[in-house]
Amino acid sequence: MSAKVNKVVLAYSGGLDTSIIVPWLKQHYGNPEVICYCANIGQDDELSGLEEKAIATGASKCYVEDLREEFVRDFLFPLLQSGAVYERAYLLGTSVARPLIARRQAEIALQEGADALAHGCTGKGNDQVRFELTYMAFAPHLKVIAPWREWNIRSREDALDYAAEHNVPVTATLKSIYSRDRNIWHMSHEGGILEDPWNEPEEAMYTLTTAPEAAPDEPEYVVVGFEQGTPVSVNGKRLEPVELLLTLNDIGAKHGIGRVDLVENRLVGMKSHGVYETPGGTILRVAHQGLEQLTLDRDTLHYKDVIAHRYAELVYYGQWYTPLREALDAFVRVTQRNVTGEARLKLYKGNATLVGRRAAKSLYNPDIASFTMSDSYNQKDAEGFIKIFGLPVKVQALLEGRSGVEG
């Protein structure tokens, strides 16, 4: 038996792993009281009967909280505004959710007077870091128990055997070959045939989006409205954050929008192959970028792209509750002051194409940009600019003897 704990709060999903963790904690940590915590962040169909299942597994109680509004408003929309994308493709759906879940779990543990926190993350994955960095930020004195780093269970078969031995009610079977994570932003898929990155994902694997080949044969246009970088409307109708994202998820899924197949670098050092479905998030990203094209000056836009890369790493690495993230958010908020307007997208067969954008404080001046001559821009001014801008190049050429004059 490991060191005894009196009360532990477990991050609980009701899946196979977290279900068997409840009796395992009791068996190996001196029969503590186990309290389960689950956050509803958009995986609604997985929450039915969750509290009853936790109690039947041996938990004393189970918290199930609806955090969708906070998740969209305080995590997803700031992520969108930052422009963060991990390794060119991943919109960070799982990564950005963990800090919220872990924070509320830690707060419940403090409220309940628990002396330990537990999670079901594997020792190979990124989530263990995301959970535990958040624990450190909010309950650094509590013991952390990570069964996957301790027990001798090594496979799905082992886990099912343990569940049967301890009368744990589970619905998982060996036929469930994929490991999935769902929330209101995305669905991820790992394992199964994806463990060979040469394999094309089978269509039956996808759960949110229509295959582009089977999507409607006519394109659909959607207009997304923003106020200071925050999405506020779809096709002219103002919507609350959760309703807005759900609406775009439905529209995007119908047209096969947001599928990504990626071999990514995990924080722990290995590469992994995953497939993501992010229909509404993909639409929002394209629309938001379209408005920023109009409203951000060149230097700010280019530097924001630099910040976006670091922001994506920070989120992926679980460093949400850090001074750096707060500082980057402050920068991003300033950049969003004029990002108010609308972007129009054409959705067709898996593609979300920006086809229009307008903003009250647009920096785009048709009179200056037009190929038609006007008094707003004197083209002769370019001559002096080019001479000054190219002076370092000219000096280097002269130094290297490329003046065209024999020495």
pLDDT score of 185:
98
DSSP letter string over 5-38? Answer: -SEEEEE--SSHHHHHHHHHHHHHTTS-EEEEEE
Pick out the chain residues at pLDDT < 50.
Answer: 407
pLDDT score of 3:
86
The residues that are catalytic are 17, 98, 127, 179
Strand partners, 344: 223, 356
Sign (positive or negative) of CA dihedral 163, 167, 171, 173:
positive
pLDDT score of 376:
73
What is the reported pTM? 0.93
Q: Are 10 and 22 in contact (CB under 8 A)?
A: yes
Q: Are 282 and 252 in contact (CB under 8 A)?
A: yes
- Each residue's pLDDT tens digit, 344-378: 999 999 999 999 999 999 999 887 666 666 677 78
pLDDT score of 178:
86
pLDDT score of 169:
84
What distance in Å separates the CA atoms of residue 183 and residue 40, rounded to the nearest whole number? 8
pLDDT score of 373:
61
